[in-house]
Amino acid sequence: MSFKNLGLSDQTVRAIEEQGILTPTTVQADVIPSVLEGKDIFTIAPSRSGKTYSYVMPLIDIIEQNQNKNILIITADSYQAANVSDSFAVFGKYHKQKDDVNASSVIIATPDLILDLAVDEKVELSKINILVVDDINLIKKKHQLSNLEKILEKLPSDKQNIVFTNRRSKETQLILDKILKTPTEIKVDKNKEDEVESFEAQKKEAPVCNKADALDDEAVELSKKYRVFGDKTPRFLLIKGELAPKEAE
């Protein structure tokens, strides 16, 4: 099985292979086609099994192919938000950036930051087309489930929902029932350590994408404003396909 067989574009596959990643993991082989097909997805998979890449890779193609897609990616902490941002930069490097006012927007942040942005009217949650929750069990451990519920109340019902977790729990099931109706459920054996180790060995260290000359001004200002809140904010805020760096050069 190759990434090309999963329905990804030539540009995305080229960027993937450039990172030394030639074979998709089980979670990637299952999730990527479902994301591209617009399905609701609930995935249970262990850490370091390639979950982040499994949704970032197809979302890059969705952004390229569709105008006016508003994507909200909710992460448990700033570290994962940074990983997601870096992944968009690395695997989207061969796609043309759209300067069009109708270009897709991507917001990557923790639940508390998203609520802050919504209060300040910096994001319009009612216009989200695709929701990714990565990872709901880790969000629970960060005591952010109540904030996640508040966000869900502001989101439209007619959207694609992609939810990941490393384990089921009674506490998260109530919220999952609110997010997902009849999802495609994907479960990856937690004992597949050989595959996890193999995937880790394939990866090169992802370089930070330098787009200082093409940054969205609003994204830069937002990243500066929320940086003072420390670990509750992502190191990158990704808006309109551009990255706002943590520190000015």
What is the per-residue pLDDT for 211?
Answer: 38
Looking at the DSSP bridge assignments, the partners of residue 74 are 109, 133
**Does any domain span residue 249?**
no
Domain-embedded: residue 85: yes
- Of the chain, the percentage scoring pLDDT greater than 70 comes to 72
Q: What is the pLDDT of residues 194-235, one digit of tens each?
A: 455 444 445 554 444 343 333 345 444 544 444 333 333 333
Query: In CATH, what number is assigned to the domain containing residue 78?
Result: 3.40.50.300
In a domain, 23, yes or no: yes
Residue 166 confidence class, pLDDT cut points 50, 70, 90: confident
Domain that holds residue 45: 4-95+104-244
Mean pLDDT of the chain: 75
Confirm whether 89 is domain-assigned: yes
Domain count across the chain: 1
Is the residue at 208 inside a domain? yes
What would the pLDDT profile of 11-57 be if each residue is shown by its tens digit?
Answer: 999 999 998 998 999 999 999 999 999 999 999 988 788 899 999 99
